[in-house]
Amino acid sequence: MSKEEAREEVNEEIKIKGNSVSPAVIKRLPRYFRYLRELIRSGKMRISSGELSELMHVTASQIRQDLNCFGGFGQQGYGYNVNYLYTRICEILGVGEGFSAIVIGAGNLGRALVRNPMFEKRGVDIVGMFDVSPDVIGITVAGNTVRNMEELEAFCGEHQVDIAVLTLPKDHALSVAERLIALGIKGIWNFTGKELDHLHPDTVVENVHIGDSLMTLCYELRTRDERKEEEK
Amino acid sequence: MSKEEAREEVNEEIKIKGNSVSPAVIKRLPRYFRYLRELIRSGKMRISSGELSELMHVTASQIRQDLNCFGGFGQQGYGYNVNYLYTRICEILGVGEGFSAIVIGAGNLGRALVRNPMFEKRGVDIVGMFDVSPDVIGITVAGNTVRNMEELEAFCGEHQVDIAVLTLPKDHALSVAERLIALGIKGIWNFTGKELDHLHPDTVVENVHIGDSLMTLCYELRTRDERKEEEK
């Protein structure tokens, strides 16, 4: 067994723990989801790990490890069935579970998110938008009328709401999150910049810090310049 | 030596390769940046790894490893000097390098980004906005007048532009990126959903897929429900 193969086996072991998919693989699945979606759109039915590797700029061995670890649907010499793979990944990720979401904050970001096809693609249904500003209460964004935040409790009493998308100012994030948790909302997608982890054991929070990605870009730019200096 | 300690030593070795900071640590630095910024705002001058650990929900040993690996500024018993740590992290990440950016696409997302204080906080200066739609050309967003895309070449000839922020539709992402690269722009912050890696060896691309984070949230929600079912 080569060193490479041995390492692969160890990685496999790390990934498959009691049949559950490891967080590292889960983190990579949305990217497969996007690429497979494009393949389906372009009419491609089968793809080998080699082709997928070239397309996604990931090693073929990584792809085989990632995809085999939740039920080997690759067939030697035949490649992967694109549709089957896509469906399996959707199942694992919870796409098409029929989750419904409300958006709190109807500013530019809230409106940009609601108009983005990403919710529909991932099977999440926007059922309401809320704001406190009289300037936006009553306007319609992609078919959703912006409601007054005062109606939040009544609305959540009448509708099933799984996810709240927070695009309101940072200073109000915590109090609104607590209100949502009291209303039984289980998922918070948080764009406020205020970290909201560990609020409640039953609540899942996903914090999005767009600025972190800007910093990564700046770091890459700075070090690229340094590398170029060194090369001179 | 305990198993824990041995693991720490190995982790240390992985992280410090020829004095450069590993990508894993770099990825975590923006989060330290945010927390340290808040500490400075609240007037805190010193913090121990234990306090930082409690605040950030990361183990103290992880914090010590992350922060010591670019020049031990923690002093046993005294904790970290918050200002010094913040300054060092800013230097490493390229905050305050004076990068300038243009935003291509003045829709809701483009406008939301330009109005967000994140650029200023990270020392990136927005110098221009561009769009193709007559509906938005000429409007002013946070002090920036939206220019016609036809003016892009002339503008970049007259101004230093380091970063282009792409918030235009996916189908135009590649052609615009190629135009930007031809104009000598070295950093692309890409919100289009079209992956733009490996375009040019000199160009740094940071792809932002907001929808990936929505899928992670859905996955967590779905498995939380499953875990609850199992517990019954």
Q: How confident is the model at residue B14 (pLDDT cuts 50, 70, 90)?
A: very low
User: Is there a domain that residue A223 lies in?
Assistant: no
Could you tell me the two tokens for A145? 């009328």
The verdict on a CB contact (< 8 Å) between A116 and B210 is: yes
- B166 and B193 in one domain? yes
Summarised one tens digit per residue, pLDDT across range A154-190 is 999 999 999 999 999 999 999 999 999 999 999 999 9
The verdict on a CB contact (< 8 Å) between B222 and A115 is: no
The verdict on a CB contact (< 8 Å) between B115 and A108 is: yes
How large is the ipTM? 0.84
pLDDT at position A21: 73
- A105 and A206 in one domain? yes
pLDDT at position A94: 85
User: Is there a domain that residue B225 lies in?
Assistant: no
Mean pLDDT within A179-203:
91
Of the candidates A109, A121, A222, which has its C-beta nearest B211's C-beta?
A121
Q: How confident is the model at residue A14 (pLDDT cuts 50, 70, 90)?
A: very low
State the CB neighbour count (10 A cutoff) for residue A87.
Answer: 15
- Compare A10 and B92 and report the one with higher pLDDT: B92
- A153 and A78 in one domain? no
- B133 and B88 in one domain? no
- B139 and B71 in one domain? no
- B125 and B193 in one domain? yes
**Residue (of B205, B196, B102) closest to B157 by Cα position:** B102
Mean pLDDT within B126-134:
97
Domain residue limits at A126: 100-212
Residues from chain B contacting residue A93 (CB–CB below 8 Å):
215, 218-219, 222
Of the candidates B112, B163, B218, which has its C-beta nearest A112's C-beta?
B112
Q: What is d(CA B221, CA A99) in angstroms, rounded to the nearest whole number?
A: 9
User: Is there a domain that residue B150 lies in?
Assistant: yes
H or E element, residue A225: helix A210-231
pLDDT at position A16: 40
Whichever domain contains A193, its CATH number is: 3.40.50.720
The verdict on a CB contact (< 8 Å) between A221 and B186 is: yes
User: Is there a domain that residue A157 lies in?
Assistant: yes
- B117 and B201 in one domain? yes
User: Is there a domain that residue A227 lies in?
Assistant: no
Pick the residue of B214, B226, B229 with the most A CBs within 10 A to test the interface with A by mutation.
B214
Residue at a domain's end among A92, A115, A136:
A92
User: Is there a domain that residue A208 lies in?
Assistant: yes
Count of domains observed in chain A: 2
**Residue (of A194, A198, A193, A176) closest to A185 by Cα position:** A176
Residues from chain B contacting residue A211 (CB–CB below 8 Å):
30, 34, 116, 118, 121-122
- B169 and B127 in one domain? yes
Residue at a domain's end among B93, B110, B139:
B93
Whichever domain contains A48, its CATH number is: 1.10.10.10
For B218, nearest residue in chain A (alpha carbons): A94
Average pLDDT in chain A? 86
Could you tell me the two tokens for B104? 């291509």
pLDDT at position B30: 92
Q: Are A186 and B224 in contact (CB under 8 A)?
A: yes
- B208 and B114 in one domain? yes
Query: Checking DSSP bridges between strand A140-141 and strand A144-148, what pairing results, if any?
Result: antiparallel
pLDDT at position B17: 38
The verdict on a CB contact (< 8 Å) between A113 and B27 is: no
Residue at a domain's end among A44, A73, A92:
A92
Can you list the pairs that B182-186 forms with residues at least 24 positions away whose Cβ atoms lie under 8 Å? B183/B152, B183/B153, B183/B156, B184/B156, B185/B156, B185/B161, B186/A221, B186/A224, B186/B162
CA-CA-CA-CA torsion sign (B187, B192, B195, B199): negative
Distance from CA of B84 to the nearest CA of A (A): 18
Of the candidates B27, B198, B209, which has its C-beta nearest A57's C-beta?
B198
Summarised one tens digit per residue, pLDDT across range B168-203 is 999 999 999 999 999 999 999 999 988 888 788 889
- A77 and A111 in one domain? no
The verdict on a CB contact (< 8 Å) between A218 and B94 is: yes
- B201 and B112 in one domain? yes
The verdict on a CB contact (< 8 Å) between B112 and A107 is: yes
- A200 and A117 in one domain? yes
Burial of A199 (0-12, 13-18, 19+ CB in 10 A): middle
Of the candidates B93, B95, B108, which has its C-beta nearest A115's C-beta?
B108
Q: How confident is the model at residue B18 (pLDDT cuts 50, 70, 90)?
A: very low
Cα A17 to chain centroid distance, Å, stands at: 23
**For helices A49-56 and A23-41, what crossing angle results, to 10°?**
100
- Compare A76 and B93 and report the one with higher pLDDT: B93
pLDDT at position B73: 59
User: Is there a domain that residue B50 lies in?
Assistant: yes
The verdict on a CB contact (< 8 Å) between B204 and A187 is: no
